[in-house]
Structure 1
C-alpha cells in the first residue's frame, strides 16, 4: 500500500511552489508531494510574462488583488534579496495620451491613494523630462514598481521545498481526483498519490482540475494570448522606467507597454487575443479540445458580443504589425516597424462565468479535503507569496 502524504500540491508554477514551501514552513516535518505535469517548473504562465513586480494601484479597494499585490511586492523584493536573485526597482509611468485617458488617470490616482502605493502625478513637461522619448498629456509615476525573473524565483522555491523534505515529481499529469472523508487520491498515467489535504494551483487547467475534484463548474478558463516583441539591443536603454498606457477599466488587460527586463532586454506588449490552445505558444496554435470547450461554453459568446470591437482590433493587430505599432507610438512615437523583433508569447488564464462575466479577482474554493485556486491572473506572480499564505491558511484551518 502506498504512503499517505500530509499534503499534495498539484501545479508547479510560482503559486503552487510557493504554497508547497509555505505549508512545509508552517508544518515542519510534514510529508508533502508536489505534482507537475511538465518537465520543469514554471513552464507556462510563470515563465511567459514580462517579469513586472506590480505595486497594486489598479485593483478595486478591498479586493484580494489589492491586498495581496502590495504585500506580494514587498515579499518578492525580500525573497529576491535573501536568495541573491536579481531584482530592480525601476518605477512605472502610466501615460495618458488623450483627454479620455487623462480623466481615467485622475480616477486611478484616487484609487492608488486608497490602495496605498506611493504615486506622483506628472504633467506633460515633467513626463518628458523624466523620459525624453515618451509623450503624453500627463502621467502617474509609481516609484515602487520593479522587475524580476519569476522563473528563477520558482526554481529557488523548488529548492526550498526539497530541502524541507518535500518531494517534487515532474512529468506527472493528473487525470482523476477522488476525495473521501479522510483523504484525497489523485491519479494519472504515471501513478497515484494519496494525501490528507490537496491543493490545486493548476492555472490554465484550473477549471478542468476543478471538475475532476467536484468543484463548481459554472466558469471556464478562456486562454488569451499575450504577444510580445522585443526592441533591438541598441534601443534597450530607450526608457528607464516601465511605460504603461492608462488602462481601460472595462477590460481586464493593462494594454501594450514597454518593459525593461531583468536580463537587459526591452520588450513591447502584450496584446490580448483569444487563444485556440491553452498551452501552445507559436502563433496559429490550436487544439481540438481547447476549441471545443470554448465553443461549448455560453459565457464565450456573451464575452465576444460585449467586446466585439476590441476583439476585432486585437486580432487585426496580432496579424498586422502596423496596428500593434500604432498602440506603442501613441506614447513612444519614434518607434518603427523595424524595432519590433520577435519575442515569445504568453497565455493568460482568464476565468469567465456562464453569464459572460470576467472574474477579475483571485478566486479560491474548497471542499472538505481540498483547496482549489480557480482564478489567478496578473498580478498572481507578484502576489504569489501572500497567495500561498492565504491558501495555506485554508488548508491548515481545515485539518
Structure 2
C-alpha cells in the first residue's frame, strides 16, 4: 500500500469509527434489510458488511453462519476499493476470484453483487451484498433495488447517531453511554468526587438463545435492565455495550460501595424467573467493578479495569462480583481508542498478518486479528498510515485480541 493509499484508508477507518457500529448487537432495522434483499432478489445469502483493518464484519446476515471473515479474501473489499457496484455473475469465470477461498470453499460463492455503503465524508465503510451458490444474471433493475436498500442502510446508520437509547432494553446505546459517562467522569475529575464503573454480562446467554429462541433472549435482556433500574439511582447510567454486555456508571460512589451495588444487582438478576419453552428458567450474571483513580483516570481506563475484573469473575466460576484492586494499573497497555489498519510482520518480513489496532499508547497497543493462534510472541507492528514500525512482545492473547508492549 502506498503512502497516499494508506492515508486514504485511515480516513476511511476514521469515518467508520464515527458510526461506532463495529461489534454491536444485531438490530431488527438492519436484519429487515437483509431479509428484503434475500426475498426481493431471490438469493440465499445477504449481508450488511463493514470492513475494518483486517476483517469484514457482518452487522446483519442471512444465509451465513459466520459473523466475520478475513478481509483479504472478501469480495466486499474489492467493492469498497472500486467505489461502485461490483456485479460478478459467475465467480469461477472471473479471473479475479477463481482461486478465492470463499469461492473454492465455504460458502462456495458463485454469484456476488455488492453496493458500497458511502459515509457522509465520501468514504466507503462497507457494503450491502447479495450472494448465491449458483451463477445468475443481474440486470439494471436488480442493481437499482440493491442500491435503494443500501441507501436505507446508510439512513439507519445516520439515525443511530441520533438515537440515545437501545430500542430493545431502554438502556443507553453504546455511543450514548460513552458520551454521557465521559462527561460524568470529566465532572468527577474536576470536582474530585468518587466515581465507579460496573461491567457485567449474562452467563451462558448463547444457551438461552439456543434453547428459548431469540424472543426468549430478548425477554431476558429487557428483564435484566428493568431489574437493574429498580436498584439504581436516577443519576446512575446504564448502557448496553454489546449483545448481553452492559456497563453502569455510579457517580459519587467509591469502590466498596460500588461492589455492594453490584452484589445487589447480581442477586436481583438471579432471582428473576422467565417463562420458557420447558417451563420457568433463571439466568445469572458476572460483574467486574472498578473505580476512578490516578491509574484509571478516564472512561476507557476504568472500563478496561472493570472488564478485566469481569473476566476474572467469569474465570472464577461466573455468577459473582469481583472488584479491581484500588489504584491498580490495567494489565493491558490499552491507551486511547483508535481504529487503524496494521500489519503483524515476522519471519524476517516473510510472514504478514493483517490486524486492526484498537488502542494505542506510548507503551503498547491492543490489536484484533481473525485468529491469534499463529501470532508469535515477538513481532514487528507496522501502521503504514502513521509511518510507524516497532518491535513488540505479546503480553496477553484472548481469542482474536492481542495486547502488546513495545520493545
Range of TM-score over shorter length: under 0.3
**Computing the radius of gyration over CA atoms, which structure comes out larger, 1 or 2?**
2
Q: How does the TM-score come out when normalised to structure 1?
A: 0.28
Structure number with higher relative contact order (C-alpha < 8 Å, ≥ 6 residues apart) = 1
